[in-house]
Amino acid sequence: MITPYDPPQDPLEILHEDADMLAVVKPAGLLSVPGRGEDLTDCLIARLAVVFPNVLLVHRLDRDTSGVMVFALTPHAQRSLSMEFETRRARKTYLARVRGKLEPREGTVDLPLTVDWPNRPRQMVCHDTGRPAVTDWRVVSYDEHETRVRLMPRTGRSHQLRVHMLALGHVILGDPIYAKGAAGDYPRLMLHSEELRINHPENGRGMRFRATAPF
């Protein structure tokens, strides 16, 4: 069930700041960019703009996902960083808790995704009209009724990790859209952007930003 928008008010954590870009930790429950409607104007980029008026969007995380995001501070940096994501040079690693015992311990999901129009914002697997979507996974540990797993998306489709885990029969715990019953009875979506590797937009130096999952 999708709950009313009540974003957290905790101070933002800045991982990196220079003349060209920022790396920050987005809390779960906060939109990356404004939504539709006056009640959805509070978002990460708006909060950053108070301190960094020139901040520019590069990529997004779902409202309910926490973790590392980067933002540009110049148009050149925005073009350069955006190209890293478009050409799949940016390396993203997420940590998730999913229902049940995910086996084998590592593998790849290659299932095309498209929007489920009658049930937006849900996405779904569709081999006819879906866009290519690929996710690698590697199990971290097993608990009695769940698996902690790292997810490495090769593509960046909407809800990709959430739908791919659902398709494997191991929905991400706490998912307000895809989880049902006990799997949805968690205080938040158990999905966190743990690490992001990119090249600096100005000097090309490899950079690695990491934020420990709060669950």
Q: Which helix (H) or strand (E) holds 47?
A: helix 44-51
CB burial of residue 199 (10 Å; 0-12, 13-18, 19+): middle
Q: Which residue of the set 18, 39, 62, 64 is catalytic?
A: 62
C-alpha distances (whole Å) from 85 to each of 10, 58, 97 are: 28, 8, 25
Q: How many CA atoms lie within 13 A of 30 on its CB side?
A: 21
Active-site residue flag, 110? no
Please give the Cα distance from 73 to 84 (Å, whole number). Answer: 16
CB atoms within 10 A of CB 133: 24
**Strands 206-210 and 191-199, sheet pairing:** antiparallel
**Which residues are tagged catalytic?**
62
